[in-house]
Amino acid sequence: MAGAVIINNELLDTGDLPGCEIGHMVIEKDGLECNCGKRGCFEKYASMKAFKNNLRKALGYDETFSGKELLALIKNTNKEDNNYRIIQKVKKEFIENLALGISNLVNIFEPEAIGIGGSFVYFEEVLLNDLKEELLTKNLLFNPRKEINIQTAVLGNEAGIIGSIL
């Protein structure tokens, strides 16, 4: 989960080092171990990979159950189905973590827009509204907002980016 910050149409210059390691912002003290060597990194909780893996695990599927199949399952499961509560629980947890990390960035940069890429783009229809609602109504923002501009398609699905556009 790589990130970028764009200020006045220019990428934030972090010098010789890559910087903007948004995925490795710690959101849980002594949390899950990350492959960067730290614990509690944002991407361990709020990357699409984490979401899909958590969902597969909770539903009893292995990694051969594709993202496409997961999306279809989320869309076609209604309240009467046994899986409904499981899906809602995993989704809620994911949205809470994603919103927490994004709120940290919003509070620092007060961006005009936030861009999210990666496979979030495919899941936009089942995640984006919940993400916005979480950000706007859960007392996460230092400066409360009525609206939040989250762009998905712009960055495409290859980028794997969460960026803040100022």
Percentage helix, strand, coil for the chain under 3-state DSSP, each rounded to 5: 45, 15, 40
Q: Are 39 and 26 in contact (CB under 8 A)?
A: yes
Indicate the residue among 41 and 105 with the shorter CB distance to Zn ion.
Answer: 41
Judged by CB under 5 A, which of 36, 72, 108, 153 binds Zn ion?
A: 36
Rounded to a whole number of angstroms, the minimum distance from the CB of residue 15 to Zn ion is 20
Bridge partner list, 5: 164
Packing angle of the helix pair 83-109, 120-137 (nearest 10 deg): 70
Cα Rg of the chain (Å, integer): 16
Restricted to residues 4-33, the positions that interact with Zn ion (CB under 5 A) are: 24
Tell the smallest beta-carbon distance from residue 145 to Zn ion (Å): 28
Count of residues in contact with Zn ion, rule CB under 5 A: 5
Contact assessment for residue 117 and residue 139, using Cβ atoms and an 8 Å cutoff: no
Query: Of residues 12, 34, 150, 159, which one binds Zn ion by CB under 5 A?
Result: 34
Least Å distance, CB 35 to Zn ion, is 7
Record the tokens describing residue 45, joined without a space. 């909780």
Phi, psi of 102 (to 5 degrees): -65, -35
Q: Residue 52, interface with Zn ion (CB under 5 A)?
A: no
Q: Which range touches Zn ion (CB under 5 A), out of 7-15, 40-48, 56-64, 82-90?
A: 40-48
41 is a site residue for Zn ion (CB under 5 A): yes
Q: Which stretch binds Zn ion (CB under 5 A): 41-49, 53-61, 129-137, 141-149?
A: 41-49
Residue 50 binds to Zn ion (criterion: CB under 5 A): no
Hey, which residues does 41 pair with through a beta bridge?
26
- The contact set with Zn ion (CB under 5 A) reads 24, 34, 36, 38, 41
